[in-house]
């Protein structure tokens, strides 16, 4: 082995680390370091309301997260789960039609799915506030047909919050499912029919399992931001529909109680990680990579 080959082997040995360098530096600066700062803040205390927090291993901040805000945690995950389920029910047929029946209109249909992203998230939520208002056509129609009583309302209810979450995060469910369905060879359906399978059985045995990676990715993309959202609960709900995002926002920006807000954030992240691990284990997502 000559000297040139030895140098080539050394370069090949260190090349992966060199390529990983920029990404690792970015993660350290903008993820691990802020996470460390947040963790240190969560173990701090305030000598007084307007004093700067001081580090002191204040574990009570975490116990307060459950004792004082347990209902907000529960409500956040329940609302997010319902919004994820509704988004899946709406998105799967839509993605299926676009993938297998879209034809030359496929790109146009996908464009219509992402059109809401051209508008600010806050503006979309305020539009829903107008649509669901007591003087809006939706409430008026539901009152006329007897679904709502004469004084019935949709705004400032859990239904409005869940509806807003579903609407705002629906494209995040449609796009991953579409990508998974679009990669499926339609000839697999023909093969299933040649083996005397009906359309429903072919869909259940072929299409659904092959689209599970898209369902998994879409569910996470909807559930995680929906659980931490505070805009929909603030504008479409009331004090009884507040979510943990509203509490964190209030603690950070109004109460300026940074230690409690940081502890709440850490507890939220821990619960989300546990839910994601359990969900991945149940769904069996070895093929997602």
Q: 177 lies in a domain?
A: yes
pLDDT in tens, 221-246: 999 999 999 999 999 999 899 999 99
Confidence of residue 10 (pLDDT cuts 50, 70, 90): low
Q: Which residues of 24-38 are buried (b: 16+ CB within 10 A; e: fewer)?
A: eeeeeeeeeeeeeeb
Domains in the chain, number: 1
Q: 264 lies in a domain?
A: yes
Q: 40 lies in a domain?
A: no
Share of the chain above pLDDT 70, in %: 94
Q: For residue 131, give the CATH number of its domain.
A: 1.10.3720.10
Residue 263 reports pLDDT greater than 90: yes
pLDDT at 102: 85
Q: 110 lies in a domain?
A: yes
Average pLDDT over residues 169-181: 95
Q: How many angstroms separate the Cα of 139 from the Cα of each of 143, 160, 237? A: 6, 12, 16
Residue 145 reports pLDDT greater than 70: yes
Q: 125 lies in a domain?
A: yes
Residue 185: left if φ>0, alpha if ψ -120 to 50, beta else—which one? beta
Q: 1 lies in a domain?
A: no
Q: What is the mean pLDDT of the chain?
A: 88
Structural element, H or E, at residue 55: strand 54-55
pLDDT at 289: 43
Q: 58 lies in a domain?
A: no
Measured CA to CA, the distance from residue 157 to residue 133 in angstroms comes to 11
pLDDT in tens, 192-213: 877 777 878 888 888 899 999 9
SS3 for 45?
strand
Q: 166 lies in a domain?
A: yes
pLDDT in tens, 15-49: 778 888 888 999 999 989 999 999 999 999 887 77
Q: Quick one: which of 220, 238, 216, 242 has its CA closest to 229?
A: 242
Residue 269 reports pLDDT greater than 50: yes
Q: Which domain holds residue 112?
A: 64-283
pLDDT in tens, 114-124: 998 888 899 99
């Amino acid at each position: 082995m000559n000297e040139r080959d030895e140098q080539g082997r050394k370069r090949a040995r260190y090349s992966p680390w060199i390529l990983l360098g920029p990404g690792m530096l970015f993660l350290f600066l903008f993820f691990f370091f802020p996470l460390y700062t947040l963790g240190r803040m969560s173990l701090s205390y305030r000598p007084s309301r307007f004093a700067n927090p001081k580090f002191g291993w204040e574990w009570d901040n975490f116990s307060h997260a459950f004792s004082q805000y347990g209902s907000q945690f529960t409500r956040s995950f329940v609302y997010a789960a319902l919004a994820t389920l509704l988004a899946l029910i709406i998105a799967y047929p839509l993605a299926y039609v676009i993938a297998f029946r879209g034809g030359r209109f496929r790109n146009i249909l996908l464009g219509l799915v992402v059109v809401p992203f051209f508008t600010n998230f806050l503006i979309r939520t305020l539009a829903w506030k107008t649509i669901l208002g007591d003087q809006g056509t939706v409430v008026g129609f539901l009152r006329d047909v007897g679904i709502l009583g004469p004084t019935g309302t949709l705004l400032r209810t859990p239904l409005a919050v869940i509806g807003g979450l579903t609407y705002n995060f629906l494209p995040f469910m449609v796009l991953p499912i579409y990508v998974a369905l679009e990669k499926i060879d339609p000839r697999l359906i023909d093969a299933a029919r040649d083996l005397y399978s009906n359309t429903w059985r072919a869909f259940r045995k072929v299409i659904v399992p092959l689209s599970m990676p898209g369902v998994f990715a879409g569910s996470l993309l909807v559930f995680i931001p929906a659980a931490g959202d505070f805009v929909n609960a603030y504008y479409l709900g009331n004090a009884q529909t507040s979510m943990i995002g509203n509490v964190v926002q209030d603690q950070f920006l109004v109460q300026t109680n940074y230690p409690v807000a940081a502890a709440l954030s850490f507890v939220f992240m821990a619960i989300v990680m546990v839910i994601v691990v359990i969900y991945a284990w149940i769904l069996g997502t070895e093929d997602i990579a």
